A and B are shown apart, each in its own frame.
Chain A
């Protein structure tokens, strides 16, 4: 299925863009995370997932649907 991935903070540098549409085999958030972590060096960056502008509980595995917009949100430190 196709989903839109949005990256924020430090993740923009690692992923190389702010946003992309990606064709994925993953059916849920857990599989999506595994897919991304296998391809990119992101395991040192903490982040939360939001699907269609709603935060997903980190302990929950949520089903993904065609056309979902998934945002990867790290905390920022600066001020």
Chain B
């Protein structure tokens, strides 16, 4: 055990703490900047089992901050290379990798085999999935995220404490590192703060950052903490999870002039978006007004929904299906392509 001797002599750890580390199982979602920072320290400390979930492959633009990877690894799965490096580093640590992205389908089964979940991802959407799966499987989540030189850290669902949904109730995407830019040292620092929270949870020592959001600004070397309380809504139940994370993918349909005979078209764009379409059976309902306007629609009618790019059309179809409309489909094309196809069919 001489490998761990310098930490065992800490009164907060001791033989008992080292045993807790050896028995612990930590699942890290994301082997990017945050994951690369925290994984080597968790492995080195003697954590018994580490899970790594990431469906991404290494790109050259990752190397300035994802320090587990070398130039020769470009093109390979991050999770697999991370496993190789960490096994070399500490053979005591069992490493289990999943080379696919976390999804509503695999999250619950994956979480079941671990004690602590680490959110080291880079999208807001998946953070809600991690949160909800952790609530259902009763696991604490150590959260970290980055915007340029600022990082956020918190621990959710710790001993039934507040969750990500208590902090940020509404899911809206924010810029990723690829969009906003990031420096390796900043993401490294935040990853290290997460690793420290994982240690505290496993060892049962110190004050876990539950119910508090820590924001560290790496440029100014300042930090602030904000307290937040547990909210009881939404209640994260199995039904809620299914609805949020196991929705069937909305099938889209390619526009064809024959569809004009088969159903009614709904344009869900704002009224100032161009081009406006001329069709025999067309209703214009901006997405935001769909909820009130749907009372005038017939649940048994066939509807084809379109917008400018296809995104809002899918949202509209989801909303309508939730309200009992069964024969509603999103068009693959945006308004401009539909207009072109219409014009072409008239010429032919």
Contacts and interface: CB of A to CB of B under 8 A. Distances in A.
Given A9-B174, A76-B174, A50 B226 contact: yes
Contacts of B231: 57
Contacts of B229: 55
Interface in B154-183: 167-170, 172-177, 180, 182
Nearest to B212: A53
B228 A10 contact: no
Interface centre among A10, A71, A75, A76 (most CB of B within 10 A): A76
B46 interface: no
Nearest to B33: A79
A69 B197 CA distance: 28
Contacts of A71: 224, 226
Contacts of A79: 30, 32-35, 119-122, 144-146, 177, 187
Tell me what chain B mostly uses at the interface: helix, strand, loop, or mixed.
Answer: mixed
A67 interface: no
Contacts of B224: 6, 53, 71
Given A73-B213, A78-B176, A79-B146, A58 B169 contact: yes
A77 interface: yes
B215 A46 contact: no
A54 interface: yes
Given A73-B213, A78-B182, A79-B32, A46 B174 contact: yes
Contacts of A77: 122-124, 145, 147, 173-176
Contacts of B174: 9-10, 45-46, 74-77
Nearest to B162: A55
B170 A78 contact: no
A75 B145 contact: yes
Contacts of B180: 10, 78
A27 interface: no
A57 B123 CA distance: 24
A76 B151 contact: yes
Contact of B147 (A9, A46, A50): A9
Interface in A26-56: 45-46, 48, 50, 53-55
Given A76-B152, A78-B147, A78-B177, A46 B170 contact: yes
B227 interface: yes
Nearest to B32: A79
Contact of A48 (B33, B121, B167, B217): B167
A53 B176 CA distance: 26
Counting from the closest, the 3 A-B pairs by CB-CB distance are A78-B146, A55-B228, A78-B177
Interface of A: 6, 8-10, 18, 45-46, 48, 50, 53-55, 57-58, 71, 73-79
19 contacts: A8-B150, A8-B215, A9-B147, A9-B150, A50-B226, A53-B224, A55-B167, A55-B226, A73-B213, A75-B172, A76-B145, A76-B174, A77-B174, A78-B148, A78-B175, A78-B177, A79-B119, A79-B120, A79-B187
Interface of B: 30, 32-35, 119-124, 127, 144-148, 150-152, 167-170, 172-177, 180, 182, 187, 213, 215, 217, 220, 224-229, 231
